Amino acid sequence: MIARSLIASRCGFLHAKRRSPCRNVLRSFVLSAALGMSALSVGQSSSAKDLFIGDAGDSSVKQINASSGAFRGAFVAAGSAGLNGPTGMIFTDDELVVVNQNVGGSNGEIFRFDGETGMFLGKLVASSDLNAPFAPRGIVRGGPDHAFYVADDGTRANDCANQGDVKVYSESGAFLGNLDRSAFAPAFYPRGVVFGPDGMLYVSARGCPISANPNDSLIGYVLRFDPRKKAFADVFASNKTVPDLHRPEGLVFDREGNLWVTSFRNAGDASDTDKILKLGGKTGVLLDKLELSKPGAARAFAQAIIFGPDGKLFIPITGNDTTTTGQLRRCNPTTKVCDNIVQAGGALQQPFYLIFRNSNPATLNYERE
């Protein structure tokens, strides 16, 4: 529109004798603009399938084409604005919002980046804020107040007595309070968050991550909170109802309303594996599992997962095995057949959380372009 106005202003002073040539110029410009917009539309459709992955290996956010696995560069440069340990990410209001664990710092933070360029825009929540999260991980935005919900893993001062919280922030970053977890008796160390089809907030939680008690490493919960009451509602699933549910983190719902959640292996059981569990969306019962490694083999696990184009499940692999760490697997949730669209030792070092531009910031569902 700016260019069209410029042509019109330049042609206006030519009066009647020059109107015909100007009309031709304007017509040519409009045609070129239409073609340009068509090309832009194709480009946007293609980029909608780009996946953005926080890489804890170099504290960057990398852009990967979900169709080909091609590396499209660092969308957010390593260490940009002090980024040190990226975890949860969402796109909202044309911005990429990234949780910064601020590894080694006193508190975590929440960063804002331009959704098109990756340029740093500022901090939604700074580490110096009175109510900054200490060890933030997952983030979503939704609920009746369209607020940011952030899982804070807790353990401030390296003490299990300092439990975590789900913190709520306004669109400007103002602290709105912690969700009321008083009705949940066990110790609370939350990791992942997602809004479910029922409008409830689902939260994955584990035992104390620094506990010397080996039994704490087997604890796993998926809890439900009512965002209207800002309070704990019930236990959706636990390691008591689903024995394989250990230290869960990333969780997403599929098109049928079933919940998929990451689960880490029991180090005391040589036959156990790192895996993704499929739970009934209304019952919380175990329906299926997708194992990420073989029993007894080197570990290959996923911190977070996301559904993308064609209903495929995207799983970034990290661990201690150089033959699998850095993989990005694209899996058919029905057949459980996976393609390694990014190979180990490639662009990804320690991929954690991931998001599409078209991912709903509340449910994380992939919305068709």
The least confident of 15-19, 46-50, 281-285, 315-319 is: 15-19
Residue-level pLDDT at 101: 97
- Shortest CA distance to 34 belongs to which of 66, 3, 77? 3
Query: How does the average pLDDT of the chain come out, rounded?
Result: 89
20 pLDDT higher than 70 = no
| % of the chain with per-residue pLDDT over 70 | 87
> CB count, 10 Å around CB of 205?
29
Q: What is the 3-state secondary structure (H, E, C) of 92-154?
A: ECCEEEEEECCCCCCCCEEEEEECCCCCEEEEEECCCCCCCCCCEEEEEEECCCCEEEEEECC
Q: Show me where the domains of the chain are located.
A: 2-37, 49-356
Residue-level pLDDT at 14: 31
Residue-level pLDDT at 267: 85
pLDDT tens string 81-107: 999 999 999 999 999 999 999 999 899
Average pLDDT in the 208-230 region?
96
Distance CA 316, CA 328 (A): 4
42 pLDDT higher than 70 = no
pLDDT tens string 151-180: 999 999 999 999 999 999 999 999 999 999
Query: Distances in Å between the alpha carbon of 345 and those of 57, 167, 348?
Result: 12, 36, 7
pLDDT tens string 222-233: 999 999 999 999
pLDDT band, very low/low/confident/very high, at 319 (cuts 50, 70, 90)? confident
Q: pTM for the full model?
A: 0.88
pLDDT band, very low/low/confident/very high, at 1 (cuts 50, 70, 90)? very low
21 pLDDT higher than 60 = no
Q: What CATH number was assigned to the domain covering residues 49-356?
A: 2.130.10.10
Average pLDDT in the 244-263 region?
97
73 pLDDT higher than 80 = yes
Question: What six digits make up the tokens of 96?
Answer: 């990429």
Question: What six digits make up the tokens of 321?
Answer: 């095995």
Q: For 214-247, give one letter per residue: b (16+ CB within 10 A) or e.
A: eebbbbbbbbbbbbeebebeebbbbbebbebbbb
130 pLDDT higher than 60 = yes
pLDDT tens string 234-245: 999 999 999 999
Residue-level pLDDT at 34: 39
195 pLDDT higher than 50 = yes
Residue-level pLDDT at 123: 98
11 pLDDT higher than 50 = no
> CB count, 10 Å around CB of 335?
7
